[in-house]
Structures are given as C-alpha cells and as structure tokens.
Structure 1
C-alpha cells in the first residue's frame, strides 16, 4: 500500500499519529501460524520466489517504527508456508544527499539463463521494484540483483529501467512468457485505473506493449497487478489468463478484483463485459496479494496482506494471510476463480501438528449450539476448523468462535461465522468480537453462496486476531480481523430455526507452543 492510498482511504488509518512509546504490548492478538514480522510495520508482500525447496517472502517493511514509513524490503523464508525464518532487511531505503529512495512493491525472478548478464550461477535472482522518491514526487521502476541466494542485492547502475516522470507508477510484477520468450511486466498506472504491460529480453530494456483498463471497478486507485495463466477445471489443455488488481473497493475497504480472458504476449482481452465486477475476497482486510514465481508443478500459490484496522497492535503491525492456491472452475455464471489454503499446508503441514481431533459424537444440532473445544488443548484461538454441514431444516448454521460467556450464560464476546439459507449468504458477524476497534459499517460482512446438495463446507482459520473463512472448496472467501480477549476462546457449532446434521468436523490446534520443532 502506497502513500497515495494511505491518504485516500479510510481503511488506511492515520498511521502517522501512532506513538510507539505509548503503546502497550498486545500478545493476545499476535498470529501464531500467519506470518508477522518480530517488530514494526509491514504491508504488501513483494518478490515472492521459490528456489531450491524454499519459499522466499519479501515484504514492505519499516525497520525502525511500528508505522508506515522508511519503506524497505523485509525478508523471510519457509519450507512449509507455516514456519518462517526471519532474515535481515534485503533491500533497504537509500538516502543519498537530498534524494531519498523508498523501496516500494515489486516482484522477483530467477534469471537461470543469465539474460540480464548479472548472474554468477543459475540461482541468480533479479528484483524488479518501484523506487519511490518522495522529494521528487516521482515513482519509477528499478532492478537489483543477488548472487547470494537473495540475502543481499546490488542495484543496477543503469536504474531506472522505466521512467515516465510520474508520481504514481508502481508495483511491477514480472514473469517469463514462454510463447514469446520474453519477460513480461504488469505495472499499475494507479490514478488512470490502468495496467500497463511491457516486455524485455534482458530485464534492463523494456518496450511498452499495451494498456488494460479502466474496466470493472474504477473509482479508487489501482495497485499491485499480476497476471497468471490457469487451467479451467483442471484441464491443462483449456487455460485462461487472469489479471488481478488491488483497489480501495466499493465500500472503501481493501479490495481485489479480477478479470478472466486471453493474453497473446502483448494485450490482455477481458472475456466479460467491461462493467462486470468480480471480487476475489469478500472481507475487509485482504489486499496487495501476489503469487510466488517458480512454484513446482506450475502451481499458482499466492499470499496477501491482512490490512490493519483501527486497533493498534504492538510491537508489530500487520501480518500476511494464509498462502492460497488459485484455480479456475466453471460455474453457472461462467468461469470463476476459486482459492483454498495452499495444498502444501492443508495436505502436508497440517498433519505434522500433534494436536487435532475429529468429532464423531456430534451428529445432530437441533436449534442450539455445542461447544467443540472443551479440552484445554484447543482453548487458544489459534485453530483450524474443517467442517461439512447438512443444512436440513435449519435456517442458519455455523460456528461461534473466540467465545466467552458470563456466569448467567450471557454472551460476553464471540465472532459468528454463519450461513443464512434464506438469504443465500455466508456471513461473519463481528458485533461482539472483542475489545478492539472495529468500524461500525464493517461489523457484518457477507458473500453470496448456494449450498451444494443441501450441504456447505467450511474451512475456518482463526489465529488470535486473524480470521479467514473459505466456503465450498474456496468458492467464496471472507478475510477479516477480530480482537478477542485471551479468555474468549470457546468454539461452538450451532443451528438456528431447525435441525442440521454435522457430517464432518475436524479441529486442529496450531498455537505456537504446539508447533512441531
């Protein structure tokens, strides 16, 4: 998220007003299995690259303060997308006389054929990023290279590689386009609501190809574009290109939209009408997501920034979403994007956690609720819930998480993740989600959803303050933040207005003290 966005949108907060010295630590809201920096501010993921079995995550980072500023690229690595090793700042801001250069968002490629001429071996990494120079009110595209596995970078002496003399021109995302044997860049012209495409043979000299936009939602600035090709319904012989863009959204919340179409190496053409709005995440906190380059088996695995809300946290501020796999499926409305937690996590990493339980005793819910984490092991608000519920005659079914009740049984705190059959809506109700600050107009978040054969499937990832809900194998997602007290840690499954049947229910404990060594 960039300077113009910070001043333009309500959701970006008044971060400059926060005083680090007056802040109390908030360990109860620190995520356990979502990435956050040990200290200080983070925002957009940057430079995602998979090299030799390791996922590299670079990110916008202020190394000095718990607020936005001094933009540099932080760095962390992981082998399983849950356990992260924090590393020193990879690309720091540069101050040279009267010129300050902040290292804004961008991407990373492995230049295995040394097209750039920078490389000493086939693991050479080249970062392509936006250099923001606030004194000059200018943004241009720079490159830097690494021959030590991405730990440190040398800026190209010929920078900038693209300079339009604009104050809003940012977030280059680069990939190798096999058909044209060229590097292709998608970069945002934010205030014009456009994505511009460039190509290059050597990552240094770039030729403009075309512009896309404005289409879809074009009211708040566009940022962080990326373009990927995905098989439709798993058919590798039937593929579509998908263009993703981050923006402020119709409600002023962080928002990502996407377009499905074709890309011939020069132009992207949208399959849908230009005014068609396709929303990636229906919550109010998911933003600036980009994919890893070079993931095995051509998987499109990506990660987004969970945008901080009005509640301040300390000594860190901001964290990442769970990494997600993207796919395309044919629906009654046409081809649409689905997303689920990355398969390396759901199929492999989850199984390494020693604390999980499958519930076979709960068969029927009759207009009431049943607590599913009576055992103290699961009373920690870092849980992963997988469930399938037959709606039966119930009007509303779902879960109440981070719950606390008083002596008389009255609800003190809880967050409701529910499905309303009459409305055909998945919803998250944060009206009693804790003592943190939640904007009144964003208390309830919804997404249209239809049952499949009378059932709904839910994956609910609650991680202290981070909540992500995936429904019906990733057909819709709601990502948001909650702020429960430490004592608000019960989880209940419920049905209102009739009887529902719990077909499957698994609960994992992913708290930090339970993570495998």
Structure 2
C-alpha cells in the first residue's frame, strides 16, 4: 500500500478521524453482510491468499489496536464458502525492538509441497509467507519470509531475513508462484516510483536471483504496487495459455485503481501482447485496489480478492472491507485478449442453497418512463441484495436500478445506463456521479450483476466485460429499491434477486 497515499489521507481526513474518535458512534447500517470486514479496527490490502484442505485463508493488512492505518500486521480469517468468515488471531504481528519497528506490509503465501525451503517438520509441507518488511526509521523496504507448520495459524520469521534488500525506500509487495517446468519459484515485486516490476527466481525461497524487469508501459501516471503474475487459458483452451499481470496504480483520472497486462512469460521474461502505450483497467471504480489471486486453488481456477478503499466516510468499530471473490477469465474479443471477471462460482453455489423466501424472480417486465419498486414490507429491503438483471434497451433514454432509497427525503443511489453515451454510471446518495464506464450492449442487451452490501456496490456488466465498484453510505432507513426507465420504454428480460441479510 502506498505510504504517500496513506499520508495524504491522514492529513486531509484528520478532522473526520478526530471527530469519529471523539464520537465513536457505531455504524451497523454500513457493516457489510457478505463482504469481509474485521470485527474491529483498520484493514487494507489482502495478503497471503491461499487455499488449504478445503479452506480459504485470507490474511490482510491490519491495525490490531486502532481504527486507522498503523501498526501494520497480518490479520487472519478463514472460510469454506467465501461468504462466511471465521476470525482468527493476528498471524504475523509487527516487530518492535528497542532499536526499530518493522511493519509487516503486503505479500503472498505459498504451500511448499516439496519442502524446498527446509522449513517443514515431520514430513509436512510448510506454509511460507513472503512479505515486505517496512522499516520507517531507516526509510527502507526489504523482502522477508516467515513459515508456518500449524496450518497458517502462527508464523516464525526466518533467521536469515531479509532475503532481498536493494537498500531502497520503495520496493515492495512480493507475489510468488511455483513454475513446474523450470522447477523454481518466481517472484514479481514492484519498484513503485520507477514504474517497474522485477522478476526473481529461487530454488528454496531464500536465495533469489534477478531474472528480468518489466515496466514503463501502460499507465505510468501513478506509482506501481501490489503486482501479481497469473497463468490463464484464453477461452478456457489449454492450447492458448497467456499470463496476466495486475498492478495497483492510477485508474483513469480517479485517485486509485488497477491496470492489467496480458502476454507471454517463459519463466524469465514477460512480453506484453500490446503496444507499450496501451492501457487496460481491472475495475473502473475509485475504490477497488490491491487485488491479488489465491494460490493453490484446485482445477486451475484463478480467483482474486481486492480491498475496497473506504474514502472519507468513517465507519466504526471497523474501517475497510474486501471485495467479493472474483473468478478471472481471459477471452478473445475483436480488440484482442481481454480480462473478464465474475463473482466466484463458489458464491453462486451458496446462492442456490438459499431458501425460496430469499429469492425473487421476475421475467418479461416492460417499464415505460417510470420506476417499479420492490421489497416494500418484504425480506428484500435489507440493503444486502445480489441482483442479476438483463435489459433490452428500447426507446428509453436511461434505465437501471435505484437502490438505498429513502421515501422520506427521496435520497437514493442510481445505477444507470445512458443509451446515447453507452455509459454505465453510479450516482451516489448525494446525486454525485463519480464512477462511470463506457460499455456497449452485448447482443442487444445490457446485463447487470449488482452486488449491493450495505455500503459497497460491485457492478459486473455483460458477464464481467467491465466492472465498476464503489462505496455508498445510505441513511439507516434508506432500504428501498426499484428498476426504472426514463423517457421511454425498456424491457426487463430477467430479474433475479437474492436477499443475503441474516
């Protein structure tokens, strides 16, 4: 996570922070139901995502002491369905000595199945975390490892740390995978201010040799950090293997965001599919950041989690949340290979298990210059809904959904599609449009998968061709929602809604 950005927040948002500390008013109306949040205190980047024996482990940047950034450590939670999470004690706490403080910044975790590191005991494969150690007093970031032989509950820092030290102030966020053909580990790590990634190879997770560099392509307006390197089959075809690089950096003109590259990687060098100036973005909202994929998933699945940056609005007693788990796909398009994202198939399986009273289905609904409300007096007015709706545009200028509606003061959040501009936009409860993306109908239709969870909104358009994520903060009683069309007709082909309130 960019320390400069954090400093900016702490400076600009100090009045909000002090006010929240003085009042300490709980905000349960904004606590997500099916997106991860810690029980209390600050969280940012997901770390060490790994799947072990049917359990998804989420480590995350965490301040165990306060509801603001600081004392960076690895928090820990687990899940069997990516929907319900078990909170566990801090796994890797910050290191405090009389001489210095070492913050445990972002990184990854791998299962060392062959015990290449020698950290395993009793014939068991160790879990190895690779993370950035931030030394604020020395103005230096290094890469370190820690290992666990109790299933990831506790970690022991390697006595030979750091395993990589370039004597640099900004050098962070290692992501490591095992490459079977080369029989070695490969790390990608960021040089943020230089807009570069470095690739390193290792046989034992301890000694790392520089393989190559990639950088100064795509969007270079802001720093590069939190990289990942992921193999994917284009269109699901094993004969068409490509590599996906994702980097957190500047997204359009927004404050933060993520970009991606597709290309070839031979175990040493990455070659971009596109010209250096070409830019591609993971999410077109302002809040999605620092996403990384899970390691060790079965069946070649690639699924990621990201952090939803909390803006200036204070929540208490926690601050920060994760995105929903997203499956990653590469698809052939007329423009070339492109990244598509879908809510995890594991989550879809959970939806199907919900009772009938938690499901709503409407088909073939024509709307003419009005809105049709749902959920009044029912179980769907909880602001914790999963909505899957497909529109056939007609004569209407705009259409979409209105959520978080308050019948008293008429506030609402609008997820709208403007037909003339081919633009999906989100107007928050104050009527401000801060998030939008251009996307054309697919086969004459616009499909929106809207995951609204108290204060987060993730919108997957046309099967994940584009994703737009933001945060909203509706009033406590603003729980109505509706579908709408403006200045003409639109057809709602299918509308499926799941109520995920508990």
TM over 0.5: yes
Distance 1:10 1:133, change over 3 A: closer
| Residue ranges of structure 1 left out of the alignment (5+ in a row) | 434-439
Q: Which residue of structure 2 aligns with residue 3 of structure 1?
A: 3
Partner residue in 1 for 2:106? 105
1:486 to 467, 476, 484: 476
Are 1:288 and 2:286 matched, yes or no? no
Q: By how many angstroms is 1:357 displaced?
A: 2.9
- Describe the superposition over 1:183-212 as per-residue Cα deviations: whole angstroms up to 9, x where unpaired: 000000011010111010000000001111
How far did residue 11 of structure 1 move? 11
Name the counterpart of 1:502.
Answer: 492
TM-superposition CA deviations, 1:347-373 (whole Å, max 9, x none): x11122224333336621111110122
1:429 Cα deviation from its structure 2 partner: 1.1
Q: How big is the shift at 1:490?
A: 0.8
After superposition, the Cα gap between the structure-2 partners of 1:431 and 1:32, relative to the gap in structure 1 and judged at 3 Å, is: closer
**Cα gap change, 1:504 to 1:276, in 2 (>3 Å):** same
2:358, 2:379 within 8 Å by CA — same for their partners in 1? no
Q: 1:451 to 1:250 in 2, by over 3 A?
A: closer
Written as runs of structure 1 = structure 2, the 5 A alignment for 1:154-173 is: 154-173=156-175
| C-alpha separation in 2, matches of 1:501 and 1:16 | 44
**SS in structure 2 at match of 1:470:** strand
Give the match for residue 462 of structure 2: 472
Structure-1 separation of matches of 2:8 and 2:232: 33
Q: 2:425 matched to which residue of 1?
A: 427
Q: Displacement, 1:10?
A: 9.5
Contact kept, 8 Å, 1:11 with 1:254, in 2: the verdict is no
Specify the alignment match of 1:329 in structure 2: 331
SS of 1:432's equivalent in the other structure is coil
CA distance in 2 between partners of 1:12 and 1:478 (Å) = 25
Aligned position for 2:71:
70
Structure 1 residues 229 and 473, CA gap change in structure 2 (3 angstroms): same
Contact 1:187 1:197 in 2 (8 A): yes
Could you tell me whether the CA contact under 8 Å between 1:9 and 1:248 is conserved in 2?
A: no
Residue number among 406, 413, 416 corresponding to 1:415 in the alignment: 413
**1:88 paired residue number:** 89
**Alpha-carbon distance between aligned partners in 1 of 2:477 and 2:360, rounded to the nearest angstrom:** 24
Name the SS of the counterpart of 1:413 in structure 2.
Answer: coil
Whether the aligned pair in 1 keeps the contact of 2:309 and 2:320 (CA below 8 Å) is yes
Q: Deviations for 1:216-241, whole angstroms, at most 9, x for unmatched residues?
A: 11121111000111111111111111
| 8 Å CA contact 1:431, 1:444 repeated in 2 | no
Q: What is the deviation of 1:13?
A: 4.6
Encode CA deviations 1:347-402: one digit per residue, 9 max, x unaligned. Answer: x1112222433333662111111012224211110000011111122221100001
Q: Report the alpha carbon displacement of residue 15 of structure 1 after superposing the two structures with TM.
A: 9.0
- Correspondence for 1:178 among 177, 180, 183: 180
1:350 aligns with 2:338: no
**When the two structures are aligned, how many residues end up with a matched partner?**
499
Distance 1:15 1:331, change over 3 A: farther
- Once the two structures are superposed, residues 452-476 of structure 1 have per-residue CA deviations (whole angstroms, 9 ceiling, x without a partner) of 2221111101111011101100000
Map of 1:458 onto structure 2:
448
Unmatched tracts of structure 2, length 5 or more:
none
Give deviations 1:465-514, integer Å, cap 9, x for gaps.
01110110000011000000121111100111221111111111111x2x
- Give the distance between the partners of 1:43 and 1:11, measured in 2 at CA: 18
Name the SS for the 2:411 alignment partner: strand
Matches of 1:10 and 1:158 in 2, distance apart? Answer: 35
CA distance in 2, matches of 1:420, 1:255: 23
Q: CA RMSD in A?
A: 1.7
Q: Which residue of 1 aligns with 2:194?
A: 192
TM score, norm. by length of structure 2: 0.96
Match for residue 368 of structure 1 among 353, 370, 376 = 370
Counterpart residue number, 1:31: 32
Query: TM-score, normalization: structure 1?
Result: 0.94
> Which aligned pairs between 1:123-138 and structure 2 lie closer than 5 A?
123-138=125-140
The answer (yes or no) to whether the contact 1:16–1:68 under 8 Å persists in 2 is no
Distance 1:12 1:446, change over 3 A: farther
Partners in 1 of 2:14 and 2:220 — Cα distance?
24
Partners of 2:120 and 2:231 lie apart in 1 by 28
In structure 1, the partner of 2:308 is 306
Corresponding residue of 1:437:
none
**Mean CA deviation greater in 18-27 or 306-315:** 18-27
**DSSP-derived class of the 2:69 partner:** coil
CA distance in 2, matches of 1:13, 1:449: 34
Please state how far the C-alpha of 1:9 moved relative to its aligned partner. Answer: 7.1
Q: Secondary structure, in 3 states, of the residue corresponding to 1:363?
A: strand
Indicate conservation of the 8 Å contact 2:130/2:143, yes or no. yes
Question: Post-superposition shift, 1:171?
Answer: 0.2
Note if contact 1:126-1:143 (Cα within 8 Å) is conserved in structure 2.
yes
Q: 2:472, 2:412 → 1: CA distance?
A: 9
- Equivalent residue, structure 2, for 1:391: 393
Q: Counterpart of 2:459 in 1: which secondary structure?
A: strand
Q: Give 4+ residue runs of structure 1 displaced > 4 Å after superposition.
A: 8-17
